[in-house]
Every structure is written in C-alpha cells, then in structure tokens.
Amino acid sequence: MSSRSLFDSGLQPERTELAWRRTALAIGIGSLLSLRVLPAAVGDPAWGAVWLAPGIVGLAFAVLLWFGARARHRRLTRALLADRPEDVPGSGLMLLLALFVMGCGVLSAAFVLWLT
C-alpha cells in the first residue's frame, strides 16, 4: 500500500496566492481612482468629503486582502506538507470578498440614483 501525499509539487498554492494579490491590487487601484473621481463628480464641497469614505474603505480592504492571501498561502502550504487536510483553510476570504463586492454594487447604485 502506497502512501499518498496531499502536497503536489506543482505551483498551485503559489498561483492562487498571486491571483489573490492581483485581486487586492485591482481593488486598491480602483479605490485610489475613486478617491480622485468621486469628490469631483459630486461637485458639492459639503458632500465631497463623504464620498472619500468608499476609497478609504477600499484601500483598507485591499491591504487586508493582500495580507490575508499571504496568511492563507502559508497555512495551506503547512497543511499540505504535513498531510493534514483538516488544516486546509476554508472559504472565509472568498466570502469576505463577495460581501465587499456586493457592498460596492449597492454603493454604486446609490451613487447613480443620487446623481439622477
């Protein structure tokens, strides 16, 4: 009977971490753009500062996602090398990203409705 390891010598965990980092980078760049565009699009100086909040929250989320991806990669690699499938990280990071994207959609719809 042969012992079968969970760890694959391929680079799947590294590719997954890079994909998470690209996602965090895209969110960060979009947040920086919103910091530049939203206050100018609103035009009213009294409300301009309020529309800085989505960009700041987005930047904070991008940083959280970046470090979360790194921590997930480390945990996954340790679990695979130790042949402990119970330690493989779950889908919490994906749920957090889905909630963030849904919140961005709601905020975008509110912005469009507010301008019209």
Answer whether residue 105 shows pLDDT above 90: yes
Local confidence band at 8 (pLDDT 50, 70, 90 cut-offs): low
Tell me how far apart the alpha carbons of residues 69 and 77 are, in angstroms, rounded to a whole number: 12
Tell me how far apart the alpha carbons of residues 72 and 19 are, in angstroms, rounded to a whole number: 12
Tell me, what's the pLDDT at 1? 41
Tell me how far apart the alpha carbons of residues 7 and 59 are, in angstroms, rounded to a whole number: 34
Taking only the tens place, the pLDDT of each residue in 46-70 is 776 778 888 999 999 999 999 999 9
Tell me, what's the pLDDT at 52? 86
Enumerate the domain spans of the chain. Answer: 12-115
Q: Which two tokens stand for residue 98?
A: 């889905």
Given a contact cutoff of 8 angstroms between Cβ atoms, the answer to whether 5 and 83 are in contact is: yes
